[in-house]
A = this chain, B = another copy of it.
Amino acid sequence: MKLDNRGLLIVISGPSGVGKGTVRKALFERKGHDLVYSVSMTTRQPRAGEVEGKDYYFVSKEEFEERIKEGKFLEYTKFVGNYYGTPLDRVEEQLDLGKEVVLEIEVEGAKQVRKKMKDAIFIFIAPPTMADLKARLTSRGTESEEIIKERYQKACREIGLAYLYNYIVVNDTVENAADKIIAIIRSEHARTIRSISGYKKLLEEANNEHD
């Protein structure tokens, strides 16, 4: 029995290469939770097989920039000439429906969300060791040594920003990390600050009794 009906905005972030995406996927395989993944909006062209509203909302550059001006993004970024962003209205809609909205974003994006949504839950995914992170970045095998080095240095800087998050979850195994995030979601719903409004009915009944 949950005392609050609104969903939580769960921001999963962490350094480059820590395995945020894998953890998020494992999370969505857990049963019995009303998780939804926030679909991003982008100005880049759809790739073969990508579905509007499922993979991305595809919009023109003009529309995207108009939305930026109107403050309609929870966070956005420009990458290789294209915009990518999280539409605020879609997130609010889902939260009101009681869904837990999961954002898996870069550390920079999380910073923007922190300014707009004080009530969101910020989870920093940390590697068990830096050696482990380096190994992960290297093992992809698709990037040059130079790019790996750059990404590792970026990750080292990002590691220092964990203190800004509500929780630090170590990605020692993907299953452990996903389990912990589920525990965080359950636990956050039980926090008095969230559940006290649902608790009012009980309070009123109790007050009528001892008046």
Contacts and interface: CB of A to CB of B under 8 A. Distances in A.
A210 interface: yes
Interface stretch (A20-28, A70-78, A180-188): A180-188
Interface in A149-172: 152-153, 155-157, 159-160, 162-163, 165-170, 172
A168 to B, nearest CB: 5
Contacts of A127: 202
A137 interface: no
Interface stretch (A51-59, A109-117, A192-200): A192-200
Contact of A187 (B155, B180, B209): B180
A206 interface: yes
B1 A172 contact: yes
A159 B205 CA distance: 10
| A interface majority secondary structure | helix
Contacts of A126: 199, 202
A129 to B, nearest CB: 7
A127 to B, nearest CB: 7
A191 interface: yes
Contacts of A166: 191-192
User: 3 tightest A-B contacts by CB?
Assistant: A187-B187, A183-B186, A159-B206
Interface of A: 1, 3, 124, 126-130, 152-153, 155-157, 159-160, 162-163, 165-170, 172, 176, 179-180, 182-184, 186-188, 190-192, 195-196, 199, 202-203, 205-207, 209-210
19 contacts: A1-B172, A3-B170, A124-B192, A129-B202, A153-B210, A156-B206, A156-B207, A162-B203, A163-B192, A166-B191, A167-B191, A168-B199, A179-B186, A183-B183, A183-B184, A183-B186, A183-B190, A184-B187, A187-B188
